[in-house]
Amino acid sequence: LNIYIAGAGSMGCRFGYQLTKANNTVTLLDEWEEHITAIQSKGLSITGDQEDNIDIPIMKPEEADQSADLIILFTKAMQLPSMLQNIEHIMNEDTKVLCLLNGLGHLEEIQKYVPRENILMGVTIWTAQIESPGKVKLSGQGGINLQSVEKTGETFGKDLINIFNEANLNAEYDQDVWPSIWRKVCVNGTMNSTCALMDANISEVFSSSHGYNLVEKLISEFVQVAAKENVHLDADEMYDYVVSASKKVGEHYPSMHQDLIQNKRLTEIDYINGAIVKIAQKYDVETPYCEMMTELIHLKEDILL
């Protein structure tokens, strides 16, 4: 299988590394010059749970010239439209495309380029972090849930599970992946945006009753809008999940904090709280808390960037 990873930041490098180690043919596609040059000249360096360095091809999307059997999308959400445009030339009528980005609205974007029977959607709780160009920190364990968008794609979806599991990526074929995708969006839309705005870690947010109140209001909007899209999220269960996660990873600064506060980069807010606002409008549902979070994050982006 000729595999391309489109978007080779932290997560693209994790998947690229593990799949290459399991003897798959993987090429990374990226736009970040310094990162490309570092990997081309010194290989991809891995740190964290283990130290390693591998040779792996990396290039700009427009330089790719082999037809793809599988493309794994791992851009940030706002980079997805331009990435899809730039990889159109390596897709043929059988090319399968897997999306593991956080957030909502990606299927609509991918469908502009890829027939639905070739698309797989999923969610992953693996993590990764770029330390410097060409160097990625991998620690902890994770997993992947995925499903083909159309039933006809199921056979390939299950083959892909085997490929991922041979690479120790701990994947599972999900007969209904959307609740898992929404759950993660809900976690991100409560903890990530709040920690970024407050410049706080998770336990600091939960050191105040106002943190609990805010999380509860946000969750109730996610649950309401999910229900309109026929996705069942249970508000109490979501709330308990977020609160219990805060006890386990309290010291953690979520990725939106890393992006905005630490690295002064744009956030994926429009695909998380912002997506809820947009979907809610279709159903005349009010989502004032998500709307406010989206405005405040964009305001902070404008102030800092």
Residues involved in catalysis: 184
Q: Which one among 5, 16, 17, 30 touches ligand NAD, defined by CB under 6 A? A: 30
Q: Which one among 39, 56, 77, 160 touches ligand NAD, defined by CB under 6 A? A: 77
Residues 6 or more apart whose Cβ sits within 8 Å of residue 235 = 219, 220, 223
Residues 6 or more apart whose Cβ sits within 8 Å of residue 83 = 6, 7, 29, 61, 73, 75
Q: How far is CA 107 from CA 77, 97, 98, 245, 279, in A?
A: 11, 11, 10, 28, 14
132 forms beta bridges with: 135
Q: How many residues bind ligand NAD (CB under 6 A)?
A: 23
Q: Which one among 5, 11, 114, 226 touches ligand NAD, defined by CB under 6 A? A: 11
Residue listed under structure tokens 């905005």: 260
Q: Is 7 in the site for ligand NAD (CB under 6 A)?
A: yes
Which residue is nearest to ligand NAD, using beta carbons? 9
Interacting span for ligand NAD (CB under 6 A) from 27-35, 112-120, 152-160, 175-183: 27-35
**Residues from 98 through 157 that contact ligand NAD (CB under 6 A):** 101-102, 124, 127-128, 130
- Identity of the residue, 109 or 268, whose beta carbon is nearer to ligand NAD in the bound complex: 268
Rounded CA separation 102/268 (Å): 8
Q: Which one among 246, 255, 267, 294 touches ligand NAD, defined by CB under 6 A? A: 255
Classify 15 as helix, strand or coil.
helix
Tokens found for residue 240: 């308990």
Under 8 Å between Cβ of 220 and 162 = no
Q: Is 193 in the site for ligand NAD (CB under 6 A)?
A: no
One character per residue 159-188, x = contact with ligand NAD (rule: CB under 6 A): ------------------------------
Under 8 Å between Cβ of 268 and 103 = yes
Which positions lie near ligand NAD, rule CB under 6 A?
7-12, 30-32, 35, 74-77, 79, 101-102, 124, 127-128, 130, 255, 268
